[in-house]
Structure 1
Amino acid sequence: MKLMEKIWSKAKEDKKKIVLAEGEEERTLQACEKIIKEGIANLILVGNEKVIKEKASKLGVSLNGAEIVDPETSDKLKAYADAFYELRKKKGITPEKADKIVRDPIYFATMMVKLGDADGLVSGAVHTTGDLLRPGLQIVKTAPGTSVVSSTFIMEVPNCEYGDNGVLLFADCAVNPCPDSDQLASIAISTAETAKNLCGMDPKVAMLSFSTKGSAKHELVDKVRNAVEIAKKAKPDLSLDGELQLDASIVEKVASLKAPGSEVAGKANVLVFPDLQAGNIGYKLVQRFAKADAIGPVCQGFAKPINDLSRGCNSDDIVNVVAVTAVQAQAQK
């Protein structure tokens, strides 16, 4: 069974309520029908009910079982506006501004998650990552003990002996351009939790660099080495090591030469890249050259599950991200 099938199966075991902020978007509506039919999650579509139903009819899509919520007419609007005002009044938000802001579908959907009316949020088919992260950071905020929101791609590489039968997590590939040592440590811990909770893996985390165990001297290497120390201090039971070159992280013969005695080297299934350039290039190389499935980006570090879509996504991508979000919500009981 492929990993995504396992995630679907797990989502069905304890169905969560996921809000789709782009309820009027056609791919979202197509995904909605499949999600309900497969029993992956209970859905809330945010948008104008008349527009949603007219588009669904033209597409030949059934929305039976989905809840439709229009911010403009919702009986929760005032409560959401009041709560948003309390959250942001020190930042200069007035009650009038709060009322206007929460009418935006993404802000409204984020308030639903914040106040427990939904278990998780998915958006991004027509909005940018910033459009999603901004209200997420303002309203839901980061999980306790987590300093930064980040992302990971779950890479499933066919016919591959590395990682867990070809499954590895790459982070951060979509959010933080140049994380410092503290942020890198937080990204490593968050990604290990994602590996465990979402993929059922025993995480073995490699902090990547162009150096292995002091083979090179540079401030960029120092950044990674410091991150390793910070992460180990925060999570002493976590299997984590670095700094490691990529080959030393996943190839046992290389690891025995470059990092003998390491419990991670040669066996890593979570790869933490030193910056966004390396991570983004790395996952795309593996995706294209190895014909790997790249599931994500999966957002991590929020207090409640919020996930982004690519604006080039198709309806199947949306189904998968909803399943991922549902499983993340199960882990945050």
Structure 2
Amino acid sequence: MVRGIYNERRIYMELMNKILEVARRDKKRIVLPEGNEERTIMAAKNIHEEGIAFPILIGDREAILNKAVQIDIDLTGIEIVDPEKSNRLDKYIQSFYELRKAKGMTVIKAEKIVKDPLYFATMMVKMDDADGMVSGAVHTTGDLLRPGLQIIKTAPGVSVVSSFFIMVVPGSQYGEEGMLLFSDCAVNPNPNEDQLAAIAIATAETAKEICKIEPKVAMLSFSTMGSADNDLVTKVRNATEKVKELRPDLLVDGELQLDAAIVQKVAGQKAPNSKVAGRANVLIFPDLQSGNIGYKLVQRFANAEAIGPICQGFAKPINDLSRGCSFEDIVKVVAITAVQAQQGLKKQKEN
């Protein structure tokens, strides 16, 4: 068992080292709207010193510097932007007004909204003054999603924003030597079959781009290949067929119970003809309740590393944090956000 735990820790460290290495190759500007929050300041210092990205702290400059002094952090070399005093403010207000005027936005309302650090930071990403954003040490997921959907919106050809966790499970032989992607665990309460298909495709792409693994996608349910008949099962079954139609290049199967998805012996009994069953490394949950409960069960009972939630589907990368995160967690999510920004620019050039 000890050897297994060491092996999974090695896989986790190799993955994070790879992500950090890629982030350093082409450093991106990542904006942190919770600028006067202690963990965020510590993370910004580490990101700057380690050359992972160019962190930008948003908030009242004096308050940020005072907090840094209190926790003995030197912010020399780190950009701090105060929305109230920024020379970009008028441009952002006008741009936000234009984006939202069809929804009843006025210039007066836009001025008040854009001065909010979350909205200001999102506008920085929109206007190419930053390459990505990370928030959530203080704010909720909903706080992040609102400006994201209003300002950044979804990427071309993407119908829904979703999230994923990279789970690395000590002592586990499941997935990719103990590493699996779980989705969606933070954003969509009850995706319909089209949205579920879009989530599966997005997470498969993430597995390739971020984790550098060949995705084997399991569409999870309480039924395996028709063992139960229910509207909930039908949704997963239909979503699976849509993924196969849209992306015949992907290895995807469903509906699969969890044990059939990851345990080869069970897969041999329940889904013997499946190329995914027993080998899945990407698990797509049918709704947010099951996804959120599932990742937390694995995290707590198996002492797993849970990296995320990371958002996918936005036109530009903005990412969420758990409010219980450590400063090290912020550093990891910033590194992943930087890699997502690199991938986004690469796709733009290819298109």
TM over 0.5: yes
**Residues 1:152 and 2:201 are matched in the alignment:** no
SS in 1 for 2:291: helix
Counting only pairs closer than 5 Å after superposition, residues 31-110 of structure 1 correspond to structure 2 as 31-110=43-122
Q: How does 1:148-297 map to 2 (within 5 A)?
A: 148-297=160-309
Q: 1:303 aligns with which of 307, 315, 329?
A: 315
Deviation (angstroms), 1:158: 1.4
Ranges in structure 2 where 5+ consecutive residues have no aligned partner: 1-9, 346-351
Report the residue type matching 2:37 in the other structure. E
Q: Secondary structure of 2:83's partner? A: coil
Deviation at 1:239, TM superposition (A): 1.1
CA shift for structure 1 position 211: 0.9
**Alpha-carbon separation, structure 1, partners of 2:243 and 2:308:** 24
Amino acid at match of 1:14: D
Q: Distance in 2 between matches of 1:145 and 1:255?
A: 34
Q: How far does residue 68 in structure 1 lie from its aligned partner after superposition?
A: 0.8
Q: CA deviation at 1:309?
A: 1.2
Residue 46 of structure 1 deviates from its aligned partner by 0.7
**Equivalent in the alignment of 1:25:** 37
How many pairs align?
A: 333
Deviation at 1:178, TM superposition (A): 1.1
The equivalent of 1:5 in structure 2 is 17
With the length of structure 1 as denominator, give the TM-score of the two structures. 0.97
Report the secondary structure of 2:236's partner residue.
Answer: helix
Deviation at 1:190, TM superposition (A): 1.1
CA distance in 1, matches of 2:41, 2:224: 48
- 1:287 counterpart SS class: helix
Residue 4 (structure 1) shift: 2.2
CA distance in 2: counterparts of 1:14 and 1:160, whole angstroms = 34
Counterpart residue identity of residue 235, structure 1: R
Secondary structure of 1:332 counterpart: helix
* Rounded Cα–Cα distance in structure 2 between residues aligned with 1:263 and 1:64: 53
Aligned residue number for residue 130 of structure 1: 142
Residue 64 of structure 1, CA deviation: 2.2
Q: Classify the secondary structure of the residue corresponding to 2:74.
A: coil
Tell me which moved more, 56-65 or 14-23.
56-65
Q: Deviations over 1:23-71 (max 9, x none)?
A: 1111111111111111111111111111111211221112122111111
Shift of 1:257: 2.0
1:319 maps to 2:326:
no
Please give the secondary structure, in 2, of the residue aligned with 1:212.
Answer: coil
Q: What's 1:142 paired with?
A: 154
SS in 2 for 1:277: helix
- Name the % identity: 68
Q: Structure 1 stretches of 5 or more lacking a match? A: none
* 1:148-191 residue CA offsets vs partner (Å, 9 max, x unmatched): 11111110011211111110001111111111111111111111
TM-score by length of 2: 0.93
Deviation at 1:310, TM superposition (A): 1.4
Q: Quote the RMSD (CA, aligned, Å).
A: 1.1
Per-residue Cα deviation, 1:122-171 (whole angstroms, up to 9, x for no partner):
11111111111000000000111111111111100112111111100011
Runs of 4+ in 1 over 6 A off after TM superposition: none
Distance in 2 of aligned mates of 1:5 and 1:226? 38
Which residue type is aligned with residue 79 of structure 2?
A: E
